[in-house]
Amino acid sequence: MDATIPDTDVVRTAVDLACRAPSVHNSQPWQWRYDAGRLDLYADPARLLVAADPRGRQLLISCGAALHHLTVAMASLRWRTHIDLLPRADGSRQVASVRFTRDAQPRSHDFDLLAAIRRRRTDRTAFSPLPDPLTAERLRAAAGAGVTVTVLPEDARPALVEATELSSAVRRYDASYQAELRWWAGHDFDTDGIPDSALATANERAMVSVGRAFPDPFTPRPSAAPTVVETGADRADASTVLMLGTPGDEPADWIRCGQALSAITLEATIARLATCTLTHLTDVDRSREVIRELAPDAGVPQLLIRVGTPTHPAPMNDTPRRSVSQVLTFA
């Protein structure tokens, strides 16, 4: 056995954790291949959301998030990752080639990040405010190079609502988009998609004016009682919204944005905060333009993250994932 490269059990464990990453509609659009010390990550075009994401932007953001999760998992196993992004110039679907050296020295924060991989989940209900304004700055600092994170001021909220309404209006009669959304969201698949339990009920949705217009959960359920202080008479969402922008709008920008999304949401999870990724605002050109005007110097808007103090208990069950044997092959 070659001790200078991770063995297959280590790789299997780390890829399993990497696949807990968030992905658009929980589509998990990735495949991994391990060969003698090199782990290659490929985008899975069969999982492209043709209507919502024709360019594969969100598909690559999702792959970027999985890549960052992998780095966290490997660090806690004492392997440092060396990532070559888009290693082929031939437009192939290879996202990254990753090698490892046995010199990572994980600290307690690395183990906190590891634990956060298992606890993080997307929360679509209303949030209470962040405990203090510095929290948003700490989350901002978690994003790596190549991504600008802007903490949107409260007075940006009307523009976010306007952009949300614009994108809903564009999508309302888009039959392919609606069919795709209903395929992926709101019924219980064993391995992918957004289960009923992870969708907000109609009442919960009404409290969040900047969420994607998901269908109602297939199985009606009563709204869970809030556990934390109400933020107002109507318990309207009082989250802070972070905007992630990149210098360009190319595959490398999208992958880096996914890495930053993973880093920020894991840090937020460690701080016991709730997060929700929002891309309906950047799916559609017209609403993306509204978002761009909110922070004209922050690059091309890729996604937003709603972050705040949770008002509902975390769902009992994880969102499903494909098994590692479905997404990882060994040479």
Candidate list 68, 171, 280, 312; residue touching ligand FMN; CB under 6 A: 280
- Residue 24 near residue 58, CB atoms below 8 Å: yes
Candidate list 11, 17, 19, 26; residue touching ligand FMN; CB under 6 A: 26
Q: Using the rule CB under 6 A, is 52 a contact of ligand FMN?
A: no
Q: Closest residue (Cβ) to ligand FMN?
A: 22
Q: Using the rule CB under 6 A, is 306 a contact of ligand FMN?
A: no
Q: Using the rule CB under 6 A, is 125 a contact of ligand FMN?
A: no
Q: Look up residue 195 and give its two tokens.
A: 């289960």
| Cβ proximity to ligand FMN, 218 vs 330, nearer residue | 218
Residue 65 CB, nearest distance to ligand FMN (Å)?
A: 5
Q: How many residues bind ligand FMN (CB under 6 A)?
A: 21
- Residue 322 near residue 19, CB atoms below 8 Å: yes
Task: Please tell me the distance from the alpha carbon of residue 26 to that of residue 195, in angstroms, as a whole number.
Answer: 9
- Residue 179 near residue 170, CB atoms below 8 Å: no
**Residues paired with residue 88 on neighbouring β-strands, in sequence order:** none
Candidate list 18, 23, 74, 130; residue touching ligand FMN; CB under 6 A: 23
Please name which of 85, 82, 139, 145 lies closest in space to residue 263, comparing C-alpha atoms: 139
Residues 79-118 that bind ligand FMN (CB under 6 A): none
- Residue 135 CA: distances (Å) to CA of 139, 140, 278: 6, 9, 20
Residue window 172-211: x/- pattern of binding to ligand FMN, with contact defined by CB under 6 A: ----------------------x---x-------------
Q: Using the rule CB under 6 A, is 312 a contact of ligand FMN?
A: no
Candidate list 65, 152, 284, 295; residue touching ligand FMN; CB under 6 A: 65
Length of the chain: 331
Candidate list 5, 18, 61, 294; residue touching ligand FMN; CB under 6 A: 61
Residue 78 CB, nearest distance to ligand FMN (Å)?
A: 26
| Cβ proximity to ligand FMN, 235 vs 280, nearer residue | 280
- Part of the chain binding ligand FMN (CB under 6 A), chosen from 22-30, 42-50, 98-106, 156-164: 22-30
Task: Please tell me the distance from the alpha carbon of residue 155 to that of residue 143, in angstroms, as a whole number.
Answer: 24
- Residue 194 near residue 182, CB atoms below 8 Å: no
Task: Please tell me the distance from the alpha carbon of residue 266 to that of residue 260, in angstroms, as a whole number.
Answer: 10
**What three-state secondary structure class fits 163?**
helix
- Residue 305 CA: distances (Å) to CA of 46, 108, 158, 252, 276: 27, 26, 16, 20, 6
Residues at the site binding ligand FMN, with contacts judged by CB under 6 A = 22-26, 58, 61-62, 65, 121-122, 124, 194, 198, 212, 276-280, 319
